Structure 1
Amino acid sequence: MQIILQKSKIAKQSSIEITGSKSESNRLLLLKALYPEFKLENVSISDDSSVMTRALETSSNLVNIHHAGTAMRFLTAYFSIQEGRTVELTGSKRMKERPIQILVEALQELGADITYTENTGLPPLKIKGKKLDKYHVSLKANVSSQYISALLLIASKLENGLELTLEGEITSVPYINMTLALLDEIGVKASFVGNVITVKPTINKLEPKTLVVESDWSSASYYYSIAAMSPLDTEIILSSYKENSLQGDSVLADIYKHFGVITSFEDNKIRLKKETFNTEALALNLKNAPDIAQTIAVTCFALGIPCDLTGLHTLKIKETDRLVALKTEIEKLGGQVEITNKSLHLSASTSINNMVSISTYNDHRMAMAFAPLALKTSIVIEDAEVVSKSYPTFWEDLETIGFKMTRNEL
């Protein structure tokens, strides 16, 4: 499906309810599979979380997680401890290009029986579930935090728990802390001292409770971008959010002050208000929140603000190479971008080309990050249905606040 976004103007004040965090949901879904005594509320309605749910509930020995990278990492760990069960874990063509060797080798070091069925270091995987009694493993600290979280999520079910040593500078610390906080919330004992994370095994049954998933801050980023591009005094209210969020992307509240967007917390909601204009250059290290890099880059481009975004080395192994994709699409719009393997440098722009067709590369964040540009010019989003990976109601929600669009079924 192609969506044509006409140049739009949003309501002065609007409200949106956003689905639960994909990051929190997928962690809690796996923990619920290990500890069925828990109940979950406000679980993400994203494709990724739906895929995760189906994979955890299926009795099939072939599990296809399509484009869901988080599910691939978490389920590799999960199925490795399902004693007596053999599973082939596969995914889309792009998933078969995304590295997983670091996680596989860590699990093998703990005693897991995992083999590659096509190419070494890449999915698909054949996993024979068994009891893992080894408890110490080391991992490079600058790898995807999902490898680390995958190990932590199953750690309390290992016979002796887990002692995980992280070597070097740690990437995406907030996502590791999110996993540890959720373990703490359900009653699993863990510590993170220096570069060593220790998780104790659970001996007794955990106390049943209901866990409520906070709404997704990554999804909120697109409304921060919209607020930044809007006239002064525009307000957007989003629910449901916590001021003491576990999500690394909650740094949006601080980052978007640079664009004159002020955040206030009220009754599990956030109010975004455009209060000032600013065209000063922006320099950010996003190693702890790489998923919002696309949104920030597009916001800067729309407002004619130069930016230097660093700490982006994990973007090359996402749904697409996000750095290359950003450079390609922003330059089609008239911008100037330079990239390295871990950074993006945007020059100040003075105009935006009209009716440019944005390729989305099977990447939900490409579609959603570029959509706010419709406040500046008409724009076309290709393969617009890709947003269902994390935010299925995105286009309907944009219409609710005033965006004008036409859908073309191709």
Structure 2
Amino acid sequence: MNIKLQKSTLHKQSKIAITGSKSESNRLLLLQALYANISIANISNSDDATLMQKALKSSDSVKDIHHAGTAMRFLTAYYATQEGQKITLTGSSRMQERPIQILVEALQQLGADIQYTKNEGYPPLHIQGKTLQGNQVTLAANVSSQYISALLLIAPTLENGLTLTLNGKITSVPYINMTLALLNQLGVQTNFEGNTITVSHFEATQETKHFTVESDWSSASYFYSLVALSEIETTITLSAYKENSLQGDSCLAEIYQKFGVTTVFNENTITLTKTHEATQETIKLDLKNAPDIAQTIAVTAFGLQLSCEMIGLHTLKIKETDRLVALKVELEKLGANVDITDKSLHLHKASKINENVTIATYKDHRMAMAFAPLALRVPIEIEKADVVSKSFPDFWKDLETIGINSH
């Protein structure tokens, strides 16, 4: 399904309710599988969270999580601890190209029985669940935080807990802190000091623990982009959000001040207002703690005809696609000049934006959503637009609600 977006103008005032964070949802779903006394409200309606729930409820010996990367990492750790269960964990063709050896080797250090069924270091995996006796693991600190969180989530079930040592400079600290905060809310004792994380063994009590998932900040990023590209005084109110968020992408509120967008927190909502034009010609950012918003920021800067330099992007090469290459190719179709390395992107100031360009989405939900706000500047077509269901199934409907017209 392709969507052609007409050149549009946002309504002056809009309100949108956004589904729960898939990052929080998937962490809580795994904890719920380990500890039955957990209830969860506002679970994400994304494909990723739906696939996670389906896999956990299924009694099939083959679990296919399609393109859900978080589910692949978290379920690898989960099934390694499920004594007596034998399962094969597989996914889409792209998922079978995404590395998992670092996590598998860490689990094997704890005593896990995991075998590759196809290519060494990649899914599918054959996992024979057992009681893991180990309690110490060492990892490179710059690996995907999902590997680290997968280990932390199963840690309270280990008889002696877990001591995790991270070598080097740590990547995506907010996602690690999110995992630890949810464990703390459950009642698990944790400590994160320097490059060492410890998680104590935990036995569930009879008391039910209630969790409400905060809405997804990554999904909010596209509305920040829309407001930045709109006229002065345009406002969009989004729910449900917290000022003391666990999500690393909540840094959007600070970052988008550079693009002229002010954020006001009020109870469980945020109101985004275009208050001024961007004051800097070049936006410089280190996104090592929030790489998922890089695509949105690059497109915002391009649409405002600003230069943009972003570093800390090394994890983008192993996402749904190589997001750095994809960004360069699609932005240059629109008239941009982009330089990339394996961990950075430099967008040069553009003099014009080409109209009626068709944006390829590479089976990547964020490519579709990041480029959509350019409809405020030029007509644009988004190829295979239904890919947004991975994280934000209502995206196109919500865009129509606030004034983006399609045909």
TM-score bracket for the superposition, by shorter chain length: over 0.9
Letter of the 1:150 counterpart: A
User: What secondary structure is seen at the aligned counterpart in 2 of 1:84?
Assistant: coil
1:61 maps to: 61
User: What secondary structure is seen at the aligned counterpart in 2 of 1:210?
Assistant: strand
The alpha carbon displacement at 1:271 in A equals 0.4
Q: Are the equivalent residues in 2 in contact too, given 1:186–1:206 (CA < 8 A)?
A: no
Separation in structure 2 between the aligned mates of residue 347 and residue 206 of structure 1, nearest angstrom: 58
User: What secondary structure is seen at the aligned counterpart in 1 of 2:138?
Assistant: strand
**Equivalences for 1:197-212 in 2 at 5 Å?**
197-205=197-205, 207-212=207-212
Separation in structure 2 between the aligned mates of residue 254 and residue 315 of structure 1, nearest angstrom: 22
**Equivalences for 1:288-327 in 2 at 5 Å?**
288-327=289-328
Q: 1:204 to 1:45 in 2, by over 3 A?
A: closer
User: What secondary structure is seen at the aligned counterpart in 1 of 2:406?
Assistant: strand
User: What secondary structure is seen at the aligned counterpart in 2 of 1:256?
Assistant: helix
Scaled by the length of structure 2, the TM-score of the pair is 0.99
2:92 maps to: 92
1:195 maps to: 195
Q: Percent identity?
A: 65
2:243 maps to: 243
1:270 maps to: 270
Q: Are the equivalent residues in 2 in contact too, given 1:187–1:206 (CA < 8 A)?
A: no
The alpha carbon displacement at 1:280 in A equals 2.0
**Equivalences for 1:332-347 in 2 at 5 Å?**
332-347=333-348
Letter of the 1:182 counterpart: L
Separation in structure 2 between the aligned mates of residue 86 and residue 158 of structure 1, nearest angstrom: 19
Q: Are the equivalent residues in 2 in contact too, given 1:229–1:303 (CA < 8 A)?
A: yes
2:383 maps to: 382
**Equivalences for 1:101-250 in 2 at 5 Å?**
101-205=101-205, 207-250=207-250
User: What secondary structure is seen at the aligned counterpart in 1 of 2:157?
Assistant: coil
User: What secondary structure is seen at the aligned counterpart in 2 of 1:404?
Assistant: coil
Q: Are the equivalent residues in 2 in contact too, given 1:187–1:207 (CA < 8 A)?
A: no
Q: Are the equivalent residues in 2 in contact too, given 1:145–1:173 (CA < 8 A)?
A: yes
1:369 maps to: 370
Residue 77 in 1 paired to residue 77 in 2?
A: yes
Letter of the 1:8 counterpart: S
Runs of 4+ more than 3 Å apart: none
1:49 maps to: 49
Separation in structure 2 between the aligned mates of residue 304 and residue 10 of structure 1, nearest angstrom: 19
CA distances 1:199-223 after superposition (whole Å, capped 9, x unpaired): 0011352631210000000000000
Scaled by the length of structure 1, the TM-score of the pair is 0.98
Q: Tell me which moved more, 163-172 or 279-288.
A: 279-288
CA distances 1:377-404 after superposition (whole Å, capped 9, x unpaired): 0000000000000000000000000110
Separation in structure 2 between the aligned mates of residue 229 and residue 71 of structure 1, nearest angstrom: 34
CA distances 1:168-220 after superposition (whole Å, capped 9, x unpaired): 00000000000000000111111101111000011352631210000000000
2:30 maps to: 30
Separation in structure 1 between the aligned mates of residue 202 and residue 348 of structure 2, nearest angstrom: 53
CA RMSD of aligned residues (A): 0.7
**Where do 5+ consecutive residues of structure 2 fail to align?**
none
Separation in structure 2 between the aligned mates of residue 60 and residue 302 of structure 1, nearest angstrom: 47
User: What secondary structure is seen at the aligned counterpart in 2 of 1:327?
Assistant: helix
Separation in structure 1 between the aligned mates of residue 173 and residue 397 of structure 2, nearest angstrom: 33
Separation in structure 2 between the aligned mates of residue 350 and residue 14 of structure 1, nearest angstrom: 31
Equivalenced residues, count: 406
1:19 maps to: 19
Q: Are the equivalent residues in 1 in contact too, given 2:35–2:204 (CA < 8 A)?
A: no
**Where do 5+ consecutive residues of structure 1 fail to align?**
none
Separation in structure 1 between the aligned mates of residue 171 and residue 27 of structure 2, nearest angstrom: 18
User: What secondary structure is seen at the aligned counterpart in 2 of 1:191?
Assistant: strand
The alpha carbon displacement at 1:160 in A equals 1.0
User: What secondary structure is seen at the aligned counterpart in 2 of 1:156?
Assistant: helix
Separation in structure 1 between the aligned mates of residue 206 and residue 180 of structure 2, nearest angstrom: 16
Separation in structure 1 between the aligned mates of residue 46 and residue 206 of structure 2, nearest angstrom: 28
Separation in structure 1 between the aligned mates of residue 218 and residue 232 of structure 2, nearest angstrom: 24
Letter of the 2:229 counterpart: M
User: What secondary structure is seen at the aligned counterpart in 1 of 2:198?
Assistant: strand
Letter of the 1:41 counterpart: A
Q: Are the equivalent residues in 2 in contact too, given 1:83–1:131 (CA < 8 A)?
A: yes
CA distances 1:31-63 after superposition (whole Å, capped 9, x unpaired): 011111111000000000000000111111100
